[in-house]
Structure 1
Amino acid sequence: MSMQLELKNVDLRPGDQLKIKGTILHDAERFQIDLGSDSDDLALHFNPRFHDDTDGAVLVCNSKAAGCWGDEKREIHNPLQRGSDVKIVLKLAGDVFEVELPDGHEVQFPNRVGVDVINYIRVMGDFKLTCFKIC
């Protein structure tokens, strides 16, 4: 069962953290956490994939401007596993996004579109969200 949480008119600024807890479904293919202005303008698209033809399980980060995707950044280190409970912390640190994974590893992705304020958040896919906190 695919789930979706979509928030608009959020006010996430540099230094703020978004903490997401949940369970990755047992048969998960992928899920995503999107931060940006709206669904066509994403400063960060964080997309763990659990079966990718080229790399197996992989973390993919990207951005989207005016509906057009940028170049994917692929991270082979993926501690996320199907059926596990996870906590993921996303931080906007000015010119870079930092994504802290459950094992303490951090993925960094440049703020390509140069946003100062995130006002759109979406969590969707093969993930059961149990806690969502902005601090």
Structure 2
Amino acid sequence: MAMPMELELTHVELKHVELRDGDQFKVKGRIMFQIDLALHFNPRFNDDTDGTVLVCNSKIAGCWGDEKREIHNPLQQGSIFKIVLKLMGDMFEVEMPDRQEIQFPNREGLDVITYIRIKGDLKIISFKIY
């Protein structure tokens, strides 16, 4: 499902999607956002602890688990970016613009993801599920 567009948004929700094992969700836009889909992916540029950092987390039974913090953050505020989030069985993989891959466990063991939320100060240029 490709959706060519250019929108300035603070919030996007996709309900009743079917992201399955091996599928990928690609987002291209400007930075200051978070993506939630059973994985919370949040690039931060002014984090109190680490300054510029990528934070991944997920909830288990409604409670946040332990964060994974990646100090290497190739994203820059205001720049155009493209990331690819992949559901890979027991793992999420996030491919960054510099080909760096971040892995985070699929803590709930979901086979299908039916909800995606993107929020923040973001200009979406395109997104695609394939």
Give the TM-score taking structure 2 as reference length.
0.90
CA contact (8 A) 2:34 2:118 kept: yes
Q: 2:114 aligns with which of 112, 119, 122?
A: 119
By percentage of residues, which structure has more strand? 2
2:117 maps to amino acid? R
Q: Secondary structure at the match of 2:58?
A: strand
Aligned partner of 1:38 in structure 2 is none
Cα distance per residue 1:67-112 (max 9 Å; x no partner): 3111111011100001100001000000100000011101000111
Q: How many residues align?
A: 123
Q: CA deviation at 1:2?
A: 5.9
1:34 maps to amino acid? D
Structure 2: gaps spanning 5 or more residues:
1-7
CA distance in 2 between counterparts of 1:95 and 1:121 reads 18
Q: 1:97 aligns with which of 85, 89, 92?
A: 92
Q: 1:49 aligns with which of 30, 44, 47?
A: 44
Q: 2:36 aligns with which of 19, 34, 37?
A: 34
CA distance in 1 between counterparts of 2:42 and 2:60 reads 17
CA distance in 1 between counterparts of 2:45 and 2:9 reads 15
CA contact (8 A) 2:24 2:87 kept: yes
Identical aligned pairs, as a percentage?
72
1:95 maps to amino acid? D
Distance verdict in 2 for CA 1:105–1:71, change over 3 Å: same
Structure 1: gaps spanning 5 or more residues:
36-42
Give the TM-score taking structure 1 as reference length.
0.87
